[in-house]
Amino acid sequence: MENYKAIGSIETFGLVFVLEAADAMCKAADVDVVGYENVASGYISVIVQGDVSACKSAVAAGVKAVENMGAEVYSSVVIPSPHRDLSKIIDRYALSKLLPE
73: CATH: 3.30.70.1710
Is 40 a member of any domain?
yes
If one counts the domains in the chain, the total is 1
Q: Identify which has the larger pLDDT, 8 or 92.
A: 8
At residue 97, the pLDDT reads 66
Give the span between the Cα atoms of 40 and 85, in whole angstroms: 24
Q: Around Cβ 34, how many Cβ atoms within 10 Å? A: 22
Is 71 a member of any domain?
yes
Is 18 a member of any domain?
yes
Instruction: Indicate if the pLDDT at residue 21 is higher than 80.
Output: yes
What's the domain range around 66? 6-86
Instruction: Indicate if the pLDDT at residue 1 is higher than 50.
Output: no
Is 51 a member of any domain?
yes
Instruction: Indicate if the pLDDT at residue 6 is higher than 70.
Output: yes
pTM, two decimals, is: 0.87
At residue 56, the pLDDT reads 98
